[in-house]
Amino acid sequence: MNRDRHPDPMREQRARMLAAAPDWRASDARVNPRVAIGSIIAMWLLYFLITTGLSALTGAPGQWSFINQRGIVVVAGILCTFLLYQLLQRVQPRSFGARLAVAMGAAVPLVALYASINMLVFFYWFPSDETAKIIEDLHDKYPIAWELVLILDSSIRWYFFFAVWAALYVALGYANEMRAVERRANAYRLEAKNAQLRALHYQVNPHFLFNTLNSLSTLVMRGSQSEAEAMIMNLSSFLRSSLEVDPEQLVSLDEEIALQRLYLDIEQARFPDRLQVAVDVPDALGNACVPVLILQPVIENAIKYGVAPSKGRIGIRVTVSSDYGLLILRVENDVDPAAPAPDPGIGLGLGNVRERLITRYGPVAGCEWGRSGKGGFYVSLWLPLARDGC
């Protein structure tokens, strides 16, 4: 018995869809305001505690007199960093490198602003003997632009403080962006998976209907009115049952076998003397969940390649077992060695089954086929054994 293969444009389209980069949104890179503001306050409070603690540990003279000034510049630092946060929140280049460059550049004017406030607090508003000596030294060296020199010197030292927070903000935003992109990518994968399951399911019915109508035509031409009427009733029941279910739905194994018995009854009317069916489903596995109509292409191929071209009685055997947490479905059919090889079909059968299983369950499921030891042909399916959700 031959099984043909065919190119699968649907699989290629799905691969292109999954390979496409999810759309980028600037809002994804924004940091939660609570996190951003909390990090600003925490950073400056940590600075206040560290500098105050070090002053106390080193026993610097008059260290407690600087607490008020230090508190003022800490508040100014919080406000300047908040302005930096507002700016970065509104400017979000697409690339991470450009975003980081904007953050580093935006920190420069705010550092200069903070250094100016720091100079006003310590050198003009609340000067001390130590700061008076620093002003005198700077005035001697730079009589005209000593304030500018002081601001530049202070800006260089403080820039790295602001830059660390800016880099942290960009890193947090990038992490948010990656999580958002991953969520959308997962949504796309799920959408593509569901679309593919539906497409694979809907490929079955036209193929099956074509073969069944051929069988019905044969009965009508042969004048077998009662058999034709029985086939029409069985076809109606099968189509009503199969079309009512969701293509993504799982059904119990008993329900799946019942659907396949309807189909086999249809084919039994076509091959009354050649088709022999045996189904062995253990009672303990009857409630196992399987994708709806997963056996349809397998049994249909067994009819097409095993029963149709033969002259004698051909048996089709469906057996079910479980092993290592897997549900194993095996369909075997005899092959008449004297029968001519049938023409190849259009390749919807076993490739369809394998694709449906892998799409739904991943590599833990699969489908294989080949010659059996008795000269017939077998198809074996395996999938995770589950009894919930169907």
Tokens of 377: 């042909």
What burial letters (b/e) apply to 352-381, b meaning 16+ CB within 10 Å?
A: bbbbbbebbeeeebbbebeebeeebbbbbb
Q: Where do we find the tokens 């292109």?
A: 16
* 244 & 180 share domain: no
pTM value is 0.50
Residue 210: inside a domain: no
* 152 & 228 share domain: no
- Find the CATH number of the domain harbouring 265: 3.30.565.10
Residue 202: inside a domain: no
**45-67 tens-digit pLDDT:** 998 888 888 777 766 555 556 77
Summary mean pLDDT of the chain:
80
- Considering only CA atoms, which of 253, 271, 259, 275 is closest in space to residue 333? 275
* 179 & 259 share domain: no
CA dist list (Å): 300 to 48, 304, 305, 324, 353: 78, 6, 9, 29, 12
Residue 137: inside a domain: yes
Separation CA 251–CA 39 (nearest Å): 52
SS (H, E, C) 313-359: CEEEEEEEEEECCEEEEEEEECCCCCCCCCCCCCCCCHHHHHHHHHH
Inform me whether the pLDDT recorded for 331 exceeds 90. yes
Inform me whether the pLDDT recorded for 22 exceeds 70. no
What is the predicted pLDDT for the residue at 21?
A: 45
The domain boundary, picked from 136, 163, 186, lies at 186
What is the predicted pLDDT for the residue at 188?
A: 67
What burial letters (b/e) apply to 237-248, b meaning 16+ CB within 10 Å?
A: ebeebbeeeebe
Q: How many residues does the chain have?
A: 390
For the residues 182-211, what does the mean pLDDT come to? Answer: 64
- Residue range of the domain that includes 330: 224-384
* 20 & 152 share domain: yes
What is the predicted pLDDT for the residue at 83?
A: 92
- Using DSSP's 3-state secondary structure scheme, residue 168 falls into helix
Separation CA 39–CA 239 (nearest Å): 62
What is the predicted pLDDT for the residue at 350?
A: 83
For the residues 250-277, what does the mean pLDDT come to? Answer: 86
How many CB atoms are closer than 10 A to CB 340? Answer: 8
Separation CA 382–CA 366 (nearest Å): 6
Tokens of 15: 């691969």
CA dihedral sign, ordered 373, 374, 378, 380: negative
* 260 & 316 share domain: yes
- In the structure, what pLDDT confidence band is assigned to residue 193 with cuts at 50, 70 and 90? low
Half-sphere exposure of 261 (CA within 13 A, CB side): 10
* 182 & 272 share domain: no
* 30 & 172 share domain: yes
How many CB atoms are closer than 10 A to CB 250? Answer: 19
Amino acid at 160: F
For the residues 166-170, what does the mean pLDDT come to? Answer: 90
Residue 3: inside a domain: no
* 230 & 284 share domain: yes
The domain boundary, picked from 186, 203, 232, lies at 186
* 359 & 254 share domain: yes
Inform me whether the pLDDT recorded for 227 exceeds 80. no
* 175 & 254 share domain: no
Q: Give the alpha-carbon dihedral of 54, 57, 58, 61, to 10 degrees.
A: 90
The domain boundary, picked from 136, 158, 186, lies at 186
CA dist list (Å): 142 to 80, 118, 121: 28, 19, 21
Residue 196: inside a domain: no
What is the predicted pLDDT for the residue at 228?
A: 79
- Considering only CA atoms, which of 378, 377, 376, 379 is closest in space to residue 366? 379
* 182 & 238 share domain: no
Weakest-pLDDT range from 9-18, 134-143, 281-290: 9-18
Q: How far is CA 209 from the centre of its chain?
A: 35
Residue 205: inside a domain: no
What is the predicted pLDDT for the residue at 7?
A: 45
**71-84 tens-digit pLDDT:** 889 999 999 999 99
**249-259 tens-digit pLDDT:** 788 999 999 88
- In the structure, what pLDDT confidence band is assigned to residue 217 with cuts at 50, 70 and 90? confident
Weakest-pLDDT range from 224-233, 338-347, 381-390: 338-347
Residue 143, phi then psi, degrees to nearest 5: -65, -25
What is the predicted pLDDT for the residue at 2?
A: 42
Residue 2: inside a domain: no
Inform me whether the pLDDT recorded for 164 exceeds 80. yes
* 124 & 58 share domain: yes
For the residues 321-346, what does the mean pLDDT come to? Answer: 82
Residue 119: inside a domain: yes
**Class of residue 10 by CB neighbours under 10 A (exposed 0-12, middle 13-18, buried 19+):** middle
When divided into structural domains, the chain yields a total of 2
For the residues 214-229, what does the mean pLDDT come to? Answer: 78
